[in-house]
Structure 1
Amino acid sequence: MTPSPPTPARTGGALAVTTVTARRVPARLGRFVLRRFRPPLYATYALLWVLALEGSAVAATGTAWRPTGATWVRVTGVVLALLFLRMLDEQKDLAHDRVHHPDRPLVTGAITAAELRGAMTAIAVVATALSAALSAAAALLFLAVLGYGLLLAALERLSSAVRDRQLLGLAVTYPVQALLGAYVYGSLVDAGTVTADWRGAVLLVLSACVFLHVEFARKTAWEAPPGARLYSADLGPRRSAAVTAGLAAGAVGCEVLLCAPDGPPGLLPCLAAALPAWGTLRFLAARRGGWPMATATGFVVATYLALALLAVWRP
Structure 2
Amino acid sequence: MISRWGRYIGAAYRPSVQLPYTVSWALGLTALFACGTGAVRSWRPDAELLITAVTLVVTMLLIRALDDVRDLDYDRRVNPDRPLPSGMVSERDLVSLVALGSALLLLLNAGRGVALAMLAGQMAYTIVVVALERLAGWPHRDQLALQLAVNLPILAMLSLYVYFGFLRAEDLRPTAAGLITVLAVTVSALCVELGRKATRQPRPGERSYVTVLGPSGTSLAAFGAAVTATAAVLVILTPWHSGAGWGWLVLAPLALPALAVAKFAAGAPHWPIPHTVAYIPAMYTSFFAVGWLTKGTLR
Q: Taking structure 1 as the reference length, what is the TM-score of the superposition?
A: 0.87
Gaps of 5+ in 1: 1-24
Selected match of 1:139 from 113, 116, 135: 116
Kept after mapping to 1: 8 A contact 2:48/2:165: no
Report the alpha carbon displacement of residue 161 of structure 1 after superposing the two structures with TM. Answer: 4.2
Selected match of 2:62 from 78, 84, 89: 84
Residues 1:202 and 2:168 aligned together: no
Counterparts of 2:205 and 2:11, CA distance in 1: 20
Report the alpha carbon displacement of residue 191 of structure 1 after superposing the two structures with TM. Answer: 4.4
Q: State the 4+ residue runs in structure 1 displaced beyond 6 angstroms.
A: none
The code of the aligned residue for 2:20 comes to T
Kept after mapping to 1: 8 A contact 2:49/2:165: no
2:24: which partner in 1? 48
1:31-80, Cα deviation, whole Å (9 max, x unpaired): 00110011121121111111111111123334211110110100111111
Selected match of 2:275 from 295, 304, 308: 295
Secondary structure of 2:158 counterpart: helix
1:225-266, Cα deviation, whole Å (9 max, x unpaired): 112221112111111112111111112202211222444322
Selected match of 1:187 from 156, 165, 177: 165
Larger Rg: 1
Selected match of 1:252 from 230, 254, 261: 230
Equivalent residues in 2 for 1:90-169, closer than 5 Å: 90-133=68-111, 135-157=112-134, 158-169=136-147
Identity of aligned residues (%): 27
Report the alpha carbon displacement of residue 97 of structure 1 after superposing the two structures with TM. Answer: 1.3
The code of the aligned residue for 2:283 comes to T
Residues 1:36 and 2:3 aligned together: no
Report the alpha carbon displacement of residue 223 of structure 1 after superposing the two structures with TM. Answer: 0.9
CA RMSD of aligned residues (A): 1.6
Selected match of 1:285 from 266, 271, 289: 266
Counterparts of 2:138 and 2:161, CA distance in 1: 30
Higher fraction of helix: 1
The code of the aligned residue for 1:164 comes to D
2:291: which partner in 1? 311
Counterparts of 1:301 and 1:314, CA distance in 2: 20
The code of the aligned residue for 1:235 comes to L
Q: Taking structure 2 as the reference length, what is the TM-score of the superposition?
A: 0.91
- Of stretches 188-197 and 208-217 in structure 1, the one that deviates more from structure 2 is 188-197
1:291-310, Cα deviation, whole Å (9 max, x unpaired): 12322233222221111011
Kept after mapping to 2: 8 A contact 1:272/1:302: yes
Counterparts of 1:272 and 1:227, CA distance in 2: 33
Selected match of 1:216 from 190, 194, 201: 194
Report the alpha carbon displacement of residue 280 of structure 1 after superposing the two structures with TM. Answer: 1.1
Kept after mapping to 2: 8 A contact 1:255/1:270: no
